[in-house]
């Protein structure tokens, strides 16, 4: 068994070894401190760049090199009639062009037509009436030369003879019978003469009442084949049948009259439906319910009642029990 020596210790290191270890330690401290300083400076620069990024990051658009617009060598198309005039040379070259080898006169201005011309105003025209008056006076004198104004009877007789010259006397003409232009009077015995050609007056009829009667008759015919509409007994209706109740009345006659009114108003919707009058008692009072049967399901009865309620008529979907 080996002996343990508790008092033994390591020998101290050499001074050279301790100096090298301290130098390395100082170098690592400098490197860490420098790295920390560089990191802090980098963070500061990065934060500053983020702050001024919107100002310094604006892009700059540079102008293109050369002219912005270039005239093509062969633009194509047709030359205008005014191309080559002196005024265009001044605008394009800056100086006036030389004398043109060809000179063309401008066209004459277009004259207005007689319709487009402005209507002249009132123009006073002077007429020399001396010759006209002399001519009229001479004509009057020539007409009165052969007639003596002192004898008006002779003047009238001469004028009458002049007008009757060459005319045959009236009594010498043969008398021709004149045709009778009056309509002949027919014999009363001829058929059709006694009847007046004027149509008789139409009888006065109340059109509103006729239309109402026709509507009621049409609804009645559609429901019951031209007679009383088919009415079912309330006891013959199976339980669970879909019905609609149109009102409650004191007697059956009033209920049937109300059915006729509804059939006249809603003849297109009540077609195919049958009338049911059910007797009921409530609070010691007997009344009659007016109902209609003939609906396939609950939706059909609701649609029917929606039409009647829209026209201010009473209608409630019910279920037979």
% of the chain at pLDDT higher than 70: 50
Mean pLDDT of the region 47-61:
72
Please count the other Cβ atoms lying within 10 Å of the Cβ belonging to residue 275.
24
Report the domain count for the chain.
1
Quick one: DSSP state of residue 6?
T
Q: Is residue 170 part of a domain?
A: no
Average pLDDT over residues 268-280: 87
Domain of residue 314 covers 230-319
Assigned domain for 77 exists:
no
CATH number of the CATH domain containing 313: 3.30.70.1070
Higher pLDDT pick, 148 / 307: 307
List the single range of 33-37, 77-81, 236-240, 258-262 with lowest mean pLDDT: 77-81
Residue 54 falls within a domain, yes or no? no
248 in a domain, yes or no? yes
pLDDT at 316 over 50: yes
What pLDDT, on the 0 to 100 scale, is given for residue 225?
46
Comparison of pLDDT for 101 and 14, the residue scoring more: 101
Asked whether residue 129 is domain-assigned, the answer is no
- Burial of residue 37 (CB within 10 Å: 0-12, 13-18, 19+) is exposed
For residues 187-206, average pLDDT: 57
**Residue of 269 and 107 predicted with greater confidence:** 269
pLDDT at 46 (0 to 100): 92
CA 321, distance to chain mean position in Å, is 56
The pLDDT of residue 176 = 57
pLDDT over 90 at 21, yes or no:
no
CA-based torsion, 204, 208, 210, 211: positive or negative: positive
Structure-block tokens of residue 61: 């658009």
Helix (H) or strand (E) holding 203: none
CA distances in angstroms from 314 to 40, 233, 248, 291, listed in the order given:
91, 22, 10, 11
């Amino acid at each position: 068994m080996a002996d343990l020596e508790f008092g033994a210790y390591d020998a101290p290191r050499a001074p050279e070894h301790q100096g090298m270890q301290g130098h390395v330690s100082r170098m690592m401290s400098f490197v860490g401190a420098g790295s920390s300083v560089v990191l802090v400076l980098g963070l500061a620069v990065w934060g500053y760049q983020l702050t001024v990024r919107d100002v310094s990051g604006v892009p700059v658009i540079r102008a293109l090199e050369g002219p912005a617009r270039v005239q093509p060598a062969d633009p194509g198309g047709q030359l205008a009639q005014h191309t080559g005039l002196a005024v265009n040379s001044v605008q394009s070259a800056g100086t006036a062009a030389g004398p043109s080898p060809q000179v063309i006169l401008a066209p004459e201005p277009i004259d207005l037509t007689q319709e487009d011309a402005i209507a002249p105003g009132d123009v006073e025209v002077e007429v020399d009436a001396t010759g006209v008056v002399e001519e009229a006076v001479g004509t009057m004198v020539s007409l009165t030369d052969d007639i003596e104004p002192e004898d008006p009877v002779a003047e009238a007789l001469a004028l009458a003879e002049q007008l009757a010259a060459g005319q045959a006397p009236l009594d010498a003409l043969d008398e021709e019978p004149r045709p009778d232009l009056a309509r002949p009077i027919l014999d009363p015995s001829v058929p059709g003469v006694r009847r007046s050609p004027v149509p008789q007056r139409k009888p006065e009829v109340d059109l509103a009442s006729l239309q109402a009667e026709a509507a009621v008759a049409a609804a009645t015919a559609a429901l019951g084949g031209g007679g009383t509409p088919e009415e079912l007994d309330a006891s013959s209706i199976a339980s669970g049948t879909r019905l609609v109740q149109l009102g409650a009345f004191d007697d059956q006659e009033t209920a049937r009259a109300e059915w006729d009114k509804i059939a006249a108003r809603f003849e297109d919707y009540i077609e195919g439906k049958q009338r049911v009058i059910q007797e009921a008692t409530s609070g010691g009072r007997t009344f009659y319910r007016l109902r209609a049967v003939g609906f396939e399901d609950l939706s059909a009865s609701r649609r029917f009642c929606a039409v009647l309620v829209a026209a201010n008529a009473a209608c409630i979907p019910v279920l037979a029990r």
